[in-house]
């Protein structure tokens, strides 16, 4: 009869003479360590600071299809939602990593010559290679407003304007 092969055990026996420490309650804070009652009352009267999990700006654009093309082809966003009304596309939600951007077609109720992106800059942090992103944007017909550059505050960045003049700065920590 052949002897069955056995593997050596990797389990170790419990050490003799050692017992698990009894579970105990955490020590109570001393009364002197608590903040003064007036400080607590003051803090409770103030509104709590805003805590966000996501931030999704929305832009109104002159030509929705042109903007979708720019954000998807030049920058690499993905369309995650489409909004239609009366069978017509009115807007989309774009997604890049965990970030979202909504763009919607202007109805021109405030005039066709209304300027869109003036004074708006969106800062976008990435872990991707900034020079490769710049090449991708150029290849898709996008025009950089700032070529890739190492900044004194420890990032490499590029800037680009979307078709409606919204300014985007994409940066990566060095």
Ordered DSSP codes for 91-135:
EEEEEETTEEEEEEE---TT-TT---STT-EEEEE-SS-HHHHHH
pLDDT score of 39: 74
pLDDT score of 51: 83
Tell me which residue of 89, 156, 161 sits closest to 118, measured CA to CA: 161
Domain layout of the chain by residue ranges: 58-110+117-173
CA-based max dimension of the chain: 95
| Alpha-helix runs per DSSP H in the chain | 37-45, 64-69, 130-139
For the chain, how big is the Rg over CA atoms in Å? 29
pLDDT score of 19: 57
pTM recorded for the entire structure = 0.72
| CB neighbours of residue 142 within 10 Å | 18
Averaged over successive runs of 10 residues, the pLDDT of the chain (174 residues) comes to 49 52 58 71 77 91 97 98 97 96 96 92 97 97 96 98 96 97
Compute the residue count for the chain.
174
pLDDT score of 35: 72
Q: Which CATH architecture has domain 58-110+117-173?
A: Roll (3.10)
β-strands 121-125, 78-85 pairing: unpaired
β-strands 88-96, 99-105 pairing: antiparallel
Rounded Cα distance between 86 and 104, Å, is 15
pLDDT score of 25: 61
């Amino acid at each position: 009869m052949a002897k069955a092969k056995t593997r050596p055990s990797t389990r170790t026996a419990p050490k003799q003479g050692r017992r698990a420490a009894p579970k105990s309650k955490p020590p109570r804070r001393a009364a002197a360590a608590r903040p003064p009652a007036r400080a607590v009352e003051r803090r409770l009267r103030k509104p709590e600071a805003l805590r966000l999990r996501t931030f999704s700006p929305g832009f109104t654009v002159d030509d929705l299809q042109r903007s979708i093309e720019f954000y998807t082809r030049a920058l690499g966003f993905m369309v995650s939602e489409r909004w239609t009304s009366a069978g017509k596309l009115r807007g989309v939600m774009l997604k890049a990593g965990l970030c979202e951007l909504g763009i919607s077609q202007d109805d021109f109720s405030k005039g066709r010559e209304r300027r869109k992106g003036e004074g708006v800059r969106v800062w976008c942090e990435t872990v991707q290679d900034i020079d490769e992103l710049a090449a991708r944007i150029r290849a898709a017909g996008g025009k950089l407003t700032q070529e890739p550059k190492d900044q004194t505050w420890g990032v490499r960045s590029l800037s680009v304007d979307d078709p409606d003049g919204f300014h985007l700065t994409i940066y990566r920590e060095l």
